[in-house]
Every structure is written in structure tokens, then in C-alpha cells.
Structure 1
Amino acid sequence: MLDAAALLALGNLPLVARLIADGAQAGLHPSRRRGAGLEFSQYRPYQPGDDLRRLDWRLAARSDRYYLRESDVDTRLTVRLVLDASASMNHADAAGVSKLAYARLLLAGLAHVARQQSDAVGLYVLSAKGLQTVPPREDTGQLPRLFHALGAATATGTLPADATTAAPLLSRQGNTLTVILSDFYDLEPQSALERLLTQLRAAGGDVLALHLLAPNELTLDYPAAATLEDLETGQRVQLDPAQRPAYQQQLQAWLRSTEQSIRGHGLDYHRLLTSEPPAAALRLVLRRRQGLPA
């Protein structure tokens, strides 16, 4: 599995998406199952407890045997990919891979898997500019649209305070899976991001929160004389090596509270690092979605 820096060096998002999807070696879900649907598939013998409404009475009259009509039930999803494009996503790890660049790779791989499963997939880029949307579709031209939008996405400013910006995300039809990829630095009580999570849960469907961080954010692995700058506010602080233990303590407390807050909304939560090969991260997500061990 290639790491993110190697994949980015290829400079071809459609190719990279296919490589990531193939490397993940798993699907979101079975695309079709046997059951009581609209499209006839086969007969099977009646068993006690079966729904009598599915009995083929004409066949029973001719053969004096009881059979049920089975059909393919369509279990395809509408997959909605939500990208946090606030300025903090410009932060890069030691290999020079920014969280935004990694997010592009991972979401492109997810989109490719969704289309392999014949799911409708759409993209929602949430930034200071508002919400840029590629509505979910399942036609052959959808992946190029998504790849173009991902490639054009830039991380600027802070997330909009107006929660109505995300209104297109709150309407849904049929089975939906909403995947939010963010560093969740904007997740505070009464923030727009917190309200969005609340509203998504109320709207129904499955919601998966992917918490993306760079390893150097966790270790504070910088030279002793480094100056750190908040990418969203511009505030600067001089790094004091003696403060590393206190920083680690506060960081772990923030990570716990962030996970508890997201899970408290009834959402699925996974933490990812930009140092992980995107295919490995995608496989982990897909296997956990299927209830399989990582």
C-alpha cells in the first residue's frame, strides 16, 4: 500500500482513487440481497413463519405445493461525502502531506468504492465560502465531477456560522450514508459544526465521522525554537519545550471530549492519521462498517 506522499506524486486523482479502492479490498455493503422486492428472481419452498402474502397461489393450485416468490431487493445507498475545508486542514505532516490533500485521496477512494457498488454518491465541501455541492448521482459521469471538485477544493478561513448553509445535507431519500471528514477543531458547543451533527442525526440515515489528524499535531515534534501559528486565527505562540507534557495532557483530554461529543450525537466515529496509507485507512473504515474486525 502506497503512502499518501507517493500517491500524491502520481498527480492523477482518478488513478489514485482506483488504487486506493482496490487496495482496501472491501466494499461498503452487498449491493443486492434476496428478499421481497419488485424484481422477480426465483422461487423457494414455503417454510413455517414465511409471509403468506408472498405465496404464489397460482403455482400452488397447479402443483399442490407451496412456493414463495423471491426477488432482488435493492440495498444501494446514497453516499454523501462531506469535506471540512476550513484553513486548519492546510496543516501538513512531516512528509509534507496536508490534511486537505489526504482528505482528497481518502474521499476519492470512498467515491470509487461507492460507484463500484452502484451507489449514488455526492460531495459537499464546507468552507468559509459556504457549501459547495455536487449532488448525489449514479451516472457514469459522476466520478469525474467529484474528482474535479475535490481537486479544486481549497481550505480557507473558518466554517460558516450560519447553520442554514448546510440545508442540502438535511434532506434525504431512501438509505443514506453521510461521511464527514474533518479535524473537528471547529467542534465546540453551539458551533455550526456541532449543530450540523445534531441536525444530521435528527434527519436520519447513517452518519460516519472521520477525525483526521497529522502525527506532528499529536507529538508536537518541532524544533525547540519553533513558532506555532493558528491557521484560522493567525495567532502565534513560541514553543516552549517545557510545556510539552502539559500540551500532551490537554490534547488527550480534547481528543476524549471530541470523541465523546460525536458519539454522544449517536454517530459512528473513527480517528485517522495522515501517516497511514489511504488504502489501509479506507479498509479499516469499510471493515468496521461491515462489523468485521480491523
Structure 2
Amino acid sequence: MTLSGDLRAGAETLASPLPALLAEAEHLASTVLLGEHGRRRAGLGDTFWQFRPAQSHDAARAIDWRRSARADAPFVQEKEWQIAQSVILWVDQGASMGFASTSDLPSKSARARALGLASAILLIRGGERVGLTGLRLPPRGGETQLNKLAALLSQDDSSDYGTPEAQGMLPHSRALFISDFLGDISATETALLQAADRGVRGALVQILDPQEEAFPFDGRTIFESMTGAMRHETLHAGDLKQQYLDRLAARKDHLAHLARITGWQFTTHHTGQSAAAALLWIYGALERKA
């Protein structure tokens, strides 16, 4: 193969996950059917949104007398909120996310990236700005930003477990962290506490494979991390089940506690569950006000 052929083959290999990820995220976003005005809310702006009955705190100049003349009560116009909000995204790209217990299930990584990018699609098309943590990609809007997000989210991390960063989070913005959260929890704690100090609120989505919840192992079993850096062999895997389940439950409780004290939302999503349901949860969690 020629040098140009090598370059082309390398480029195609590098770019190959991009169209698939974009297509999956676009399809997932479309299933939510939020429409053009999915994030409409009352606030500052010039665009008419809806009429509502006047309340005692409304000034007389706010009353729409033409609309009020057609009813027995005064009405005011509500304008649509037009201040774009920044949402910072972190999707764990560590090797542990590549796990899938069967070929019928997506890997945790595939599900996490699809949810992350689909969330970005909904947010950006709803008028918000989306970026990545750690100053990898500052928050912006537009289709070009979606392509950049897809490119960066298609990359892999060589470490077993990814770690979030609070760097790059704008004060009073929103954030979305998606991971299995099975590695060292201290980095997540630090990022959440730093984010909370800046008034950042958001959502934690823990992605797990059903096998990681069930621990269906017995007898001689070799447990190995996705990179092969960690390995444990046992002749009695069944004896470890309760200890493992207790530790997993403790990790979930800890994540839920972190979310509570920082004003975030937390959920666990399994790769065997509906991705659309998880996306709806994310969208609702990011809409909540602190």
C-alpha cells in the first residue's frame, strides 16, 4: 500500500465511529419528540410565548388589553426565555466502559456516548450551548459544535477508569456526567464539590451492564479489567457475590449522597433498558432549578 493509501486507511479508521455515533444519537434524540420548543420557558426576551391570566404583581402596562377584551379577566403576554445556558458534558471514555456482557447488548461506552451526544443535540437545538469538561471544548451552539463533540466523544482513554474535571465549568451553568463510576470515587467527589462551589447543578448518570448488577458467577472465575492491568482469580466466585453486591450498593448510595449535597440529580441506567427513557430523565434533570 502506498503512503497516501496508508494515510487514507488510517483516516477512515479514525473517522469510522463518527457517522455511526452521530446517526445513533440523532435517532435517539428524535425519539424523544421534544420538538422545536422543547425548552421553552417564561423569562426575558422579545419572542411571544403565550398569554396567561394577569396576577396581582403584574403592572398595568403589562396587560394585553386586546386579548383581555375577549375575556372576563385581564391577560398578559409571556415572553420566551432567550438567554442561552451553558451545559458542560463529561462522558467516561475509560476502558471499563467498553464492557458488554453479551453481543445482544451495547457496551456501556456505546450507550454513554449516544446518550451524551443525543443530550447535546437536544440542548443545542433548543438554543443552549454545550461543551466538554477540562477545557477540551468550550461550550458553543450550532451543528459544527455537534460534529466536534461527536469527534471527541468517539475517542478512547487508555486508562481503566476515566475521571471527570470541574475545570471549564462556568458559574451557574449545568453539567452532565455519564460513567459507570466504578473507579476511584475521589475525582468525582472533587469535581462535584468544585462545581457546587461555582453554583453548577447537573445530573449524574451511572451506566451499568445487567451482569454487573446480577454477578452471575460461580466456581473458578478469572476477573480481569478491560486493559488487563488488574486481574483476580478465584475458585469460589459465588462466595464473593454478596460482598460485591454490598459494595455496589454502597457506591450507589455514595453517589446519591453526593448528588443530594451538591444539588445534582442521580440515576442508574442499565444497558438493557430503554435509551430513550434515560434521555428523557436526563433532559428533565437538566431542566430542574436548584
TM range (shorter): 0.7 to 0.9
Q: Which residue of 1 aligns with 2:272?
A: 275
Amino acid at match of 1:168: G
1:28–1:149 CA distance, 2 compared to 1 (3 A): farther
Q: Structure 2 vs 1, CA of residues 288 and 202 (structure 1 numbering), >3 Å: closer, same or farther?
A: closer
* 1:287 positional shift: 4.4
C-alpha displacement at 1:139, in angstroms? 2.3
Residue number in structure 1 paired with 2:196: 201
CA distance in 1, matches of 2:247, 2:81: 49
Q: Say whether 1:245 aligns with 2:242.
A: yes
Q: Does 1:39 align with 2:39?
A: no
Higher strand share: 1
Structure 1's 211 and 29: CA in aligned 2 closer, same or farther, altered over 3 A?
Answer: farther
Cα RMSD for the two superposed structures: 3.6
* 1:105–1:223 Cα change, 3 Å: farther
The structure-2 alpha-carbon separation of the partners of 1:40 and 1:261, relative to structure 1 and needing over 3 Å to count, comes to: closer
**Any conservation in 2 of the 1:119–1:138 contact (CA below 8 Å)?**
yes
Whether 1:109 and 2:118 are equivalent positions in the alignment is yes
Structure 1 residue 225: deviation in Å? 2.6
Per-residue CA distance 1:196-249 (angstroms, 9 max, x = gap):
110111111321111111111111124633200244751423252233233323
Change (3 A) 1:228 1:208: same
Is the Cα–Cα contact under 8 Å of residues 90 and 99 in structure 1 kept in the other structure?
A: yes
Q: Counterparts of 2:31 and 2:38 in 1: how far apart (Å)?
A: 18
What is aligned with 1:257?
254
Structure 1 unmatched runs, 5+: 1-7, 57-65, 125-130
Change in CA separation of 1:45 and 1:152 when aligned onto 2, cut-off 3 Å: closer
Query: How far off its partner does 1:184 sit?
Result: 1.6
Matched, 1:24 2:32: yes
Taking structure 1 as reference, are residues 244 and 27 closer, same or farther at Cα in structure 2, changes over 3 Å only? farther
Q: Closer, same or farther in 2 for the Cα pair 1:47/1:240, shift >3 Å?
A: closer
In 2, distance between residues paired with 1:108 and 1:138?
13
Residue 139 (1) aligns with residue 147 (2) = no
| Unpaired segments ≥5 residues, structure 2 | 1-15, 65-73
Provide the residue aligned with 1:266 in structure 2: 263
Q: Return the offset for 1:20.
A: 0.3
Residues 105 and 79 of structure 1, relative CA distance in 2, 3 Å threshold: same
Q: Residues 27 and 113 of structure 1 are in contact (CA less than 8 Å); yes or no, is this contact kept in structure 2?
A: no
Higher alpha-carbon deviation: 238-247 or 205-214:
238-247
For the residues of structure 2 that align with 1:16 and 1:142, how far apart are their CA atoms?
17
Q: Which has the higher contact order (CA 8 A, sep 6+)?
A: 1
Post-superposition offset of 1:23: 1.5
TM-score where L is the length of structure 2: 0.74
Are the aligned partners of 2:265 and 2:285 in contact in 1 as well (CA < 8 Å)? no
1:211 aligns with 2:218: no
Larger CA deviation: 135-144 vs 217-226: 217-226
Secondary structure in 1 matching 2:154? helix
- Does structure 2 conserve the Cα–Cα contact (< 8 Å) formed by 1:215 and 1:274? yes
Specify the code of the residue in structure 2 equivalent to 1:94: T
Retained in 1: the 8 A contact 2:208–2:271? yes
1:7-58 CA-partner distances (Å, limit 9, x unpaired): x9996222211110111234798444455x35264999975421468689xx
Q: Distance in 1 between matches of 2:263 and 2:53?
A: 41
1:92-136 deviations in Å (ceiling 9; x for gaps)? 232363222221111121111112212111133xxxxxx461221
Aligned residues: 260
What CA distance in whole angstroms lies between the structure 1 residues aligned with 2:17 and 2:131? Answer: 26
Q: Does 1:225 align with 2:223?
A: no
